């Protein structure tokens, strides 16, 4: 009889404990919903949860910096394994509450930005990659557990670029290690999920100053330049440069310019050529184009799309040229860190199949970005 009474008592205690956990998770989910809700955000200041370790509903400072405005957001100081993107059981509890909130009809129809931030312990490159991997772990868990579309989440790692506290103390570093969920207030349309989204920037260096190249601006042979892109979803990416003669240079994928290749990963920053390296122009002056093409799966004929976008009737694929005997590149479109001649530099180009005019390309699933500039 005593054992039976003890069993009943333990069962009752477990049910009380389980109900308490469920109520706490339900309460968290409601608080997260309020923090990310457009209606609540417009009516009152953002929620700050001081009583719960690791969780705050605040305005994302990085969102202010990037877009110059404030949007509903939730800052989560989540726990990961040391120097890892592995989720801890404590973190999973909070993510379950977040997933419940995002399933609410008021929230599930929006695009969300997931920002990863970290402290200043470690190198810039390591911190940037770790912050990106942690945001991917968060979104992977959400997608697998609660079933939203992966394309609803724009994953970005910021590394240590946007601290919200001093990195001189452990408390401050703990505040800087965070994941921020931002409701972009942009509606999500499931019909567009087949088309990847890529953020593309072309940078150039002139007189030791780096700038963003804008449409129609001028580059000279003294200028160095590079193409950077960040996929928001996994995709196959193809980057071409078309000169005034209609000759096409394959910038990506091309092992001469980058060790990376397809498929590209979401949230990762890619640079053509690699980081700390630059491209520079040959002597074919005139109007040139940089074209970025992407699709979730492999494209059979990306050059055909490049031809359409640049209005080139007869595209020629630039052929590989061996380096000169002096070690100087036979042409000057190549890689140079500080514009010194690259030892044994080449303009060997990735092999691309000639356009097949009969192939049928569904452009509704294809991302296309183009920039034109003057080569003087």
Angle, alpha carbons 354-288-209 (nearest 5°) = 130
Q: Is 330 exposed, middle or buried (0-12, 13-18, 19+ CB in 10 A)?
A: middle
Nearest to 333, CA basis, from 371, 288, 301:
288
Determine the pLDDT at residue 270. Answer: 94
Q: Which fold has domain 2-192?
A: 60s Ribosomal Protein L30; Chain: A; (3.30.1330)
- Beta-strand pair 153-159/286-295: unpaired
Mean pLDDT of the chain: 76
Q: 266 or 61: whose pLDDT is higher?
A: 266
**Dist. CA 120–CA 114, nearest whole Å:** 20
Q: What does DSSP say about strands 198-206 and 178-187: parallel, antiparallel, or unpaired?
A: unpaired
* E strands in the chain: 55-56, 73-76, 110-117, 153-159, 178-187, 198-206, 209-212, 218-219, 224-231, 236-242, 247-252, 270-272, 279-280, 286-295, 316-317, 334-335, 367-375
Percent of the chain with pLDDT over 70: 70
Lowest mean pLDDT, pick from 3-17, 66-80, 192-206, 301-315:
3-17
Taking 60 as the threshold, does the pLDDT of residue 52 lie above it? no
- For 90-146, how does the pLDDT look when each residue is reduced to its tens digit (9 = 90+)? 999 999 999 999 999 999 899 899 999 999 998 888 888 899 889 988 988 998 899
pLDDT at residue 310, rounded to an integer:
82
The angle at the Cα of 306, spanning 298 to 293, to the nearest 5 degrees, equals 45
* pLDDT at residue 361, rounded to an integer: 65
- Phi/psi of residue 40, nearest 5 degrees: -65, -35
Spatial distance between the Cα atoms of 11 and 8, rounded to a whole number of angstroms: 5
pLDDT for res 340: 34
pLDDT at 342 over 50: no
Of residues 55, 8, 60, 10, the one with CA closest to residue 28? 55
The pTM for the full model equals 0.53
Cα 293 to Cα 303: distance, rounded to the nearest angstrom: 9
- Quick check: 76 and 180 in contact, CB under 8 A? yes
Mean pLDDT comparison of 17-31, 46-60, 211-225, highest-scoring range:
211-225
Q: What is the pLDDT of residue 238?
A: 97
Decide if pLDDT at 245 tops 70: yes
| Numbered ranges of CATH 3.30.1330.60 in the chain | 2-192
Q: What is the predicted pLDDT for the residue at 181?
A: 94
95/279 Cα distance (integer angstroms): 43
Instruction: Grade residue 44 by pLDDT with cuts at 50, 70 and 90.
Output: very low
Lowest mean pLDDT, pick from 48-62, 113-127, 165-179, 271-285: 48-62
pLDDT at 58: 42
Give mean pLDDT, residues 180-198. Answer: 82
Please, are residues 50 and 31 in contact by the beta-carbon 8 Å criterion? no
Contacts of 303 (CB under 8 A, 6+ apart): 240, 248, 315, 317, 352, 353, 354, 355
């Amino acid at each position: 009889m005593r054992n039976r009474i003890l069993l009943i008592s333990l069962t009752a205690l477990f049910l009380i404990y389980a109900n308490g956990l469920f109520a706490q998770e339900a309460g968290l989910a409601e608080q997260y919903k309020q923090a990310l809700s457009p209606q609540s955000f417009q009516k009152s200041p953002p929620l700050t949860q001081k009583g719960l370790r690791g969780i705050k509903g605040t305005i994302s400072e990085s969102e202010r910096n990037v877009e110059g405005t404030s949007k509903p957001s939730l800052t989560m100081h989540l726990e990961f394994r040391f120097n890892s993107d592995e989720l801890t059981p404590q973190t999973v509890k909070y993510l379950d509450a977040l997933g419940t909130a995002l399933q609410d009809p008021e929230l599930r129809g929006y695009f969300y930005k997931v920002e990863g931030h970290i402290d200043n312990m470690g190198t810039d490159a390591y911190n940037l990659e770790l912050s990106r991997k942690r945001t991917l772990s968060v979104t992977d868990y959400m997608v697998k557990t609660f079933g939203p579309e992966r394309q609803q989440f724009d994953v970005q790692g910021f590394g240590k670029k946007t601290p919200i506290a001093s990195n001189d103390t452990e408390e401050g570093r703990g505040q800087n290690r965070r994941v921020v969920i931002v409701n972009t207030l942009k509606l999500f349309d499931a019909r567009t999920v087949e088309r990847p989204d890529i953020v593309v920037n072309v940078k150039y260096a002139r007189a030791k100053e780096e700038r963003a190249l804008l449409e129609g601006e001028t580059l000279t042979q003294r200028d160095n330049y590079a193409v950077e892109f960040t996929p928001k979803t996994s995709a196959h990416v193809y980057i071409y440069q078309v000169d005034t003669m209609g000759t096409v240079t394959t910038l990506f994928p091309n092992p001469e310019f980058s060790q990376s290749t397809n498929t590209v990963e979401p949230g990762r920053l890619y640079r053509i050529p690699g980081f700390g390296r630059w491209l520079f122009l040959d002597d074919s002056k005139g109007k040139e184009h940089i074209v970025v093409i992407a699709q979730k799966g492999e494209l059979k004929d990306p050059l055909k799309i490049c031809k359409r976008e640049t209005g080139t009737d007869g595209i020629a694929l630039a052929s590989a040229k061996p380096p000169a005997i002096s070690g100087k590149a036979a042409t000057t479109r190549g890689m140079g860190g500080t514009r010194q001649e690259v030892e044994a530099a080449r303009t060997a180009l990735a092999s691309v199949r000639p356009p097949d005019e009969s192939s049928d390309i569904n452009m509704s699933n294809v991302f296309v970005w183009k920039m034109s500039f003057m080569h003087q």
